[in-house]
């Protein structure tokens, strides 16, 4: 997956440079909303996409200087979650951990259209596109012992951390989508966007069970959330998560884009 991220970044940047030399430059501004879902992959959900997806929304601004590429900045918010009890793996079900977290993301990205595209132009009304960029996001994992009360997990130091992990992180958003015009002023889109992160604690699970005599979790509640294994017993220093992989989160859904015009558009040439 790491190779895919860097390959996509290279493709988007390279195609954008190529597009700068193409014909029919113009200036178009759009505002839009994103409506869809969010989910995650990590220690509590290693590989099932769209599993436990929750509603997500967003707002964005897009600047389009060319039929082939665009730049976009915006904000997304959604919930991610994982639950060992719903896993297909018996070892995970015995581990018996769960979490949920709100994700708040600010991002900037470049987009490349495979087909020439522009809102209000029926000749160029559809395109598949790639996107890649950078984001800053906030998360806060919470756990539930079964009583309905969700508790913040980071202060509990469930793996005996001597240093708390940061709840603000930098990530790499990228993905693929389609765009289509539906009127002179409005476009619709459908997109799927993985977020490559550099943290393994979206779910508060990463390494080993702590030694309660050396680096204990914080209080009785910390102990309860640290080891919820159905097998019981002492699990000190045994594997709790997989520190070799980082967590990912994803946004998937529809976009509604509205063209905004600050002044009348000049007619550059026939076919514009």
| pLDDT per position as a tens digit, 5-36 | 455 555 545 554 454 445 567 789 999 999 99
- The predicted structure's pLDDT at residue 264: 59
- The predicted structure's pLDDT at residue 19: 45
Domain borders along the chain are: 2-260
pTM more than 0.85: yes
Distance CA 85, CA 98 (A): 8
Q: Return the C-alpha torsion angle 216, 222, 225, 229, nearest 10.
A: 30
List the one residue out of 128, 147, 134, 70 whose CA is nearest residue 106. 134
| Residue 152 DSSP SS3 | strand
List the one residue out of 217, 198, 197 whose CA is nearest residue 208. 217
Q: Average pLDDT in the 94-108 region?
A: 98
Contact predicate 131/77, CB 8 Å: no
DSSP bridge partners of 98: 83
Distance of CA 135 to the CA centre of its chain: 9
| Residue 130 DSSP SS3 | strand
- The predicted structure's pLDDT at residue 35: 98
- The predicted structure's pLDDT at residue 262: 66
Tens-place pLDDT, residues 120-177: 888 889 999 999 999 999 999 999 998 889 999 999 999 999 999 999 999 999 999 9
Q: Is domain 2-260 given the CATH code 2.60.40.10 in the classification? A: no
Where do the H-state alpha helices sit in the chain?
A: 2-19, 90-95, 219-226
């Amino acid at each position: 997956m790491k190779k895919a991220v860097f390959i996509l970044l290279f493709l988007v940047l390279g195609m954008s440079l190529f597009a700068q030399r193409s014909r029919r430059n113009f200036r178009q501004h759009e505002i839009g909303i994103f409506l869809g879902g969010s989910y995650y992959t990590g220690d509590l959900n290693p590989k099932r996409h769209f599993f436990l997806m929750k509603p997500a929304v967003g707002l964005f601004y897009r600047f389009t200087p060319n039929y082939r590429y665009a730049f976009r900045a915006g904000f997304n918010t959604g919930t991610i979650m994982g639950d060992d009890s719903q896993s297909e793996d018996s070892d995970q079900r015995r581990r018996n951990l769960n979490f949920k977290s709100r994700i708040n993301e600010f991002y900037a990205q470049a987009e490349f259209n495979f087909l020439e595209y522009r809102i209000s132009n029926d000749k160029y009304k559809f395109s598949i596109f790639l996107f890649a960029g950078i984001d800053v996001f906030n998360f806060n994992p919470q756990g539930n012992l079964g009583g309905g009360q969700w508790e913040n997990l980071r202060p509990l130091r469930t793996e005996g951390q001597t240093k708390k992990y940061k709840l603000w992180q930098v990530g790499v958003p990228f993905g693929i989508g389609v765009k289509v015009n539906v009127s002179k002023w409005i476009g619709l889109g459908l997109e799927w966007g993985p977020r490559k992160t550099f943290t393994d604690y979206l779910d508060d699970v990463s390494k080993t069970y702590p030694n309660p005599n050396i680096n204990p979790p914080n209080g009785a509640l910390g102990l309860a959330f640290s080891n919820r294994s159905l097998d019981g017993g002492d699990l000190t220093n045994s594997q709790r998560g997989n520190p070799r992989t980082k967590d990912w989160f994803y946004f998937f859904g529809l976009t509604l884009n509205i063209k905004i015009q600050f002044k009348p558009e000049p007619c550059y040439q026939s076919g514009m």
